[in-house]
Amino acid sequence: MALRSHQGYEAMALCARVGWVGASRMNTVARARASASCTAPLSVVAALTVSTLVTVAARADEGGVSFWLPGQYGSFAAIAPTPGFSLPMVSYFTSGSVGGNHALDLGRTLDFGVDGNFLGEFVAPSYAPDTTIFGGRPNFSLTFLPAASSASASVRLAPLSASKSQGVGGFGDLYPTAQLFWNSGVNNWMAYVTGDIPVGSYNADRLTNLGIGHGAVDFGGAYTFLNPNTGWEFSATAGLTFNFENPSTDYTNGIDAHLDWGAAKFLTQQLFVGAVGYVYQQLTPDRGQPAALGSVESATVGVGPQIGYNFDAHGVPIYANLRGYFDLYAENRLRGASVFLTLNFPLSALAKAK
């Protein structure tokens, strides 16, 4: 089945990797998750009160809160956008939990439990100038994040127990991104650099936040195979995150590596279905965590389905994509499921259509 020309699905591609990279403000849910996977020595646990344990748990997993949101790039990651202004919008929801049991020598039981939910709307106004840089087509974006999140944590040191629940609404950090795209037939490449401007709602004493409290820089690249004649597509995006120190906690996350991928098959010229996934691994330990919690390195693997539809509205191409992820594995971070709903509005095309 032959597809439209490249320009027919350039608009679809933009949302797949427009650069709302910092979406991982899912820091949100996670202020206590590492403790479920890290077991403190008996001498340390016995010396802590229940309230202190909650505080330690809230801080200990700071390294598990990544700047990079696993799964934010999917299919068409390296397809260059059409020159002009566009407005990709991504509705994102995730829910996860973590818990653990550890029997201590004195017969006590110390239980940790964290649940979290996050709902955000990533708004990423973008501009692709009609020019080339080093032979590639550039694209620039700045992502805003209105969001709401809630989290709860509970600790039980028999016969005592304590729990804490919090919610917050407002705006997350700002995420600027610059990209370059190259094309040669069915092969496409993209290089990017992005970062976190820590201006979002953040309080080191809260269980949940919308900002991460520190700056970060992430760079990497993507490859997309797209054959218009067969309707098959495959994309992979890989990168590294370098984190700055959180001045509120004197805590510095380690270096993170991540891989997002997507595969799709067009059933018609407008409709495609496929699969998506991610692999995320922290490469180096955090600095500043309590010694009893170890290195607190986080990792996760997830997969899920996707469906997309490209349609015209009064001559203007609109792209819609729905994809979901289920965590197959998670260490020192919440484990659950997430959903992305992407819509891309080509503002330049809309202006011409009026």
In a domain, 52, yes or no: yes
pLDDT at 217: 98
Number of domains forming the structure of the chain: 1
Mean pLDDT for 51-58 is 34
Whether 1 is covered by a domain: the verdict is no
| Mean pLDDT, residues 184-207 taken together | 93
Residue 190 has pLDDT above 50, yes or no: yes
* 56 vs 322, higher pLDDT: 322
Residue 290 inside a domain? The answer is yes
If you average pLDDT over each of 9-18, 153-162, 170-179, 306-315, which comes out highest? 170-179
| Mean pLDDT score, 321-347 | 91
Which residue range is the domain that position 172 belongs to? 6-353
* Average pLDDT of the residues in 266-273: 95
Q: Say if residue 154's pLDDT is above 90.
A: no
Residue 55 forms part of a structural domain: yes
What is the share, in percent, of the chain residues with pLDDT greater than 70?
71
| 45 in a structural domain | yes
- Residue 176: inside a domain: yes
**Comparison of pLDDT for 16 and 127, the residue scoring more:** 127
Q: Is the pLDDT of residue 61 over 90?
A: no
Whether 323 is covered by a domain: the verdict is yes
Q: List CB contacts of 126: < 8 A, sequence separation 6 or more.
A: 14, 18, 19, 81, 85, 86, 87, 88, 139, 140, 141
Q: What is the DSSP string of 123-168?
A: E--EEE-SS-BTTBEEEEEEEB-EEEEEEEEEEEETTEEEEEEEEE
Report percent pLDDT > 90 for the chain.
54
Compute the mean pLDDT over every residue in the chain, rounded to the nearest whole number.
78
Within a domain: residue 230? Answer: yes
Of all helices (H) and strands (E), which one includes residue 203?
none
Residue-wise pLDDT for 283-303, tens only, equals 998 887 665 556 668 899 999
Indicate the pTM of the whole model.
0.80
CATH number where 156 lies: 2.40.160.40
